[in-house]
Amino acid sequence: MTDTTAAQTERSLVLVKPDGYRRGLSGEVLRRIEAKGYTLVALAVVEPSRGQLEEHYAEHQGKPFYEPLLEFMSSGPVTAAIIEGQGCIPGFRSLAGATDPTAAAPGTIRGDHGRDWGLAVQQNIVHGSDSPESAAREIAIWFPAQG
């Protein structure tokens, strides 16, 4: 019998940004993903190229924080992951917390581990896809073989 009530299994693209990687928070982020019940489908430590970052952040081109964002994201390795599970796209964004780490609720990754460093870009530890379309697009950027 087909269960028509179950949400579709989906995949999301998660990045532990260079600040999180440098601070040794990759394990903490992955721990929270697994504790929540999502599955790690692919995992890699990547030195992002300018081209990958331009594609990844295309929607932000022209905004005041765009260049600082690309510079920050180029400042060291990131841990990239494909995660899977029902509702994992909004679910991971809920684990991550609000974009601004000062405002992010305690209990979230950004709320527990992030803060304002007085820089032109928010160094907020993680990225998570915001829709199924973004997830498909971003997975192809970071894991071309899995797209």
Can 56 be counted among the known catalytic residues? Answer: no
CB of 45: closest distance to ligand IDP in angstroms? 19
Our finding on whether 39 is near ligand IDP (CB under 6 A) is: no
* Alpha-carbon gap, residue 98 to 110, rounded angstroms: 7
Interface with ligand IDP, residue 130, by CB under 6 A: yes
Report, in Å, the least distance between residue 67 CB and ligand IDP: 11
Min dist CB 65 to ligand IDP, Å, is: 4
Per the DSSP assignment, residues forming a β-bridge with 126 are: 16
Which residue from 24, 56, 37, 40 is spatially nearest to 134, judged by alpha carbons?
56
Our finding on whether 124 is near ligand IDP (CB under 6 A) is: yes
Radius of gyration of the chain (CA): 15
Measured CA to CA, the distance from residue 79 to residue 82 in angstroms comes to 10
Q: Does 65 bind ligand IDP (CB under 6 A)?
A: yes
Euclidean distance between CA atoms 34 and 28, whole angstroms: 10
Binding site for ligand IDP (CB under 6 A): 60, 65, 69, 99, 121-122, 124, 127, 130
